[in-house]
Amino acid sequence: MKPAEAHQSGALPAKVQLFHTCLINEVFPEVGMSVVRVLEKLGIEVEVPLRQTCCGQPAYNAGFQADAKKVARHMITVLHQADGPIVIPSGSCADMVIHQYAVLFQDDEKWLAKAHSVAARCHEFSSFLVDVVGLTQIGARVRARIAYHPSCHLSRGLGVQQQPRELLRAVAGVEMIELRESEECCGFGGLFSVKNPEISGSMMNRKLAAVECSNAERLVSCDMGCLLQLAGGLHRRGSSIKTQHLAQLLDEGMQ
């Protein structure tokens, strides 16, 4: 479905809330701006809840349940008060809100109900475009050889596997290149890369070897955690391969 057809069918929501995530807001704000521009070009108003903070995943993964609950309660409250679908440009953070909040509050009936209510409105960026709005053809054009890295939380946690590929294949001029062992983890894993740097580095180098052998010009993913890890590795190797969030590529192609 094309944007005009989506408008005619009423599939496009008038407004969404953007949960920008810590990594994007603090380190890669340009990715957040690309998400906003893509959605606005489709005719969707984007609101950004100003009181949003971290989703609580770092504390949750480290085993600090009380701290994770405190952050999660705040975010549930903020998102519960906002109207419309919630778009999250990160498989990792989306999985935390959609699936792990329910685990956090499984013994708290009040907050569990609120967590389920918020989770039902949350969508990872590519899934929102393909599954909710029904869009793949968005009029983007970029001439480049693209390799796609499926992040673990997005692919395994959320089950979002084909949606990013559909969007990439629909960009005019893009040559999709399938990576060897493409489903392999990049080795980031948030705290995993800090606690196990040698294992993390080995996993990253295995992934980058496949990327460099692919003859791709760009490496695209939907999680900035993975791209932070992989971009650093490519830089240290002196590689010319460019890394991009999917939203950045679509934004570029829609200019």
Verify that 82 and 163 share a domain, yes or no: no
Pull the structure tokens for residue 160.
């979002």
Verify that 123 and 168 share a domain, yes or no: no
Pull the structure tokens for residue 176.
């999709």
Verify that 77 and 176 share a domain, yes or no: no
Output the pLDDT for position 1: 52
Angle at CA of residue 184, ends 141 and 245, nearest 5°: 30
pTM: 0.93
Verify that 22 and 99 share a domain, yes or no: yes
Output the pLDDT for position 2: 58
Output the pLDDT for position 8: 44
Question: Given 98, 130, 162, which residue is the final one in a domain?
Answer: 130
DSSP assignments along 44-90, one per residue:
-EEE--TT----SHHHHHHT-HHHHHHHHHHHHHHHHHS-S-EEES-
Verify that 20 and 100 share a domain, yes or no: yes
Question: Given 130, 164, 189, which residue is the final one in a domain?
Answer: 130
- CA distances (Å), origin 100, targets 113, 131, 155, 202, 241: 13, 21, 16, 28, 34
Structural domains counted in the chain: 2
* CATH number assigned to the domain comprising residue 125: 3.40.50
Within 13 A of 250's CA, how many CA atoms are on the CB side?
33
Verify that 125 and 220 share a domain, yes or no: no
Verify that 124 and 156 share a domain, yes or no: no
Residue type (1 letter), 226: C
Instruction: Round to whole Å and give the CA distance between 252 and 255.
Output: 6
Question: Given 72, 99, 130, which residue is the final one in a domain?
Answer: 130
Verify that 120 and 7 share a domain, yes or no: yes
Output the pLDDT for position 109: 96
Verify that 221 and 120 share a domain, yes or no: no
| 15-18, strands of its sheet edge to edge | 45-47, 15-18, 86-88, 122-124
Domain that holds residue 50: 3-130
Verify that 107 and 163 share a domain, yes or no: no
Verify that 157 and 207 share a domain, yes or no: yes
Verify that 118 and 149 share a domain, yes or no: no
- What are the residue ranges in the chain where pLDDT is below 70? 1-11
127-164 pLDDT, tens digit each:
999 999 998 889 999 999 999 999 999 999 999 999 99
Output the pLDDT for position 246: 98
Pull the structure tokens for residue 243.
């890394």
Output the pLDDT for position 187: 86
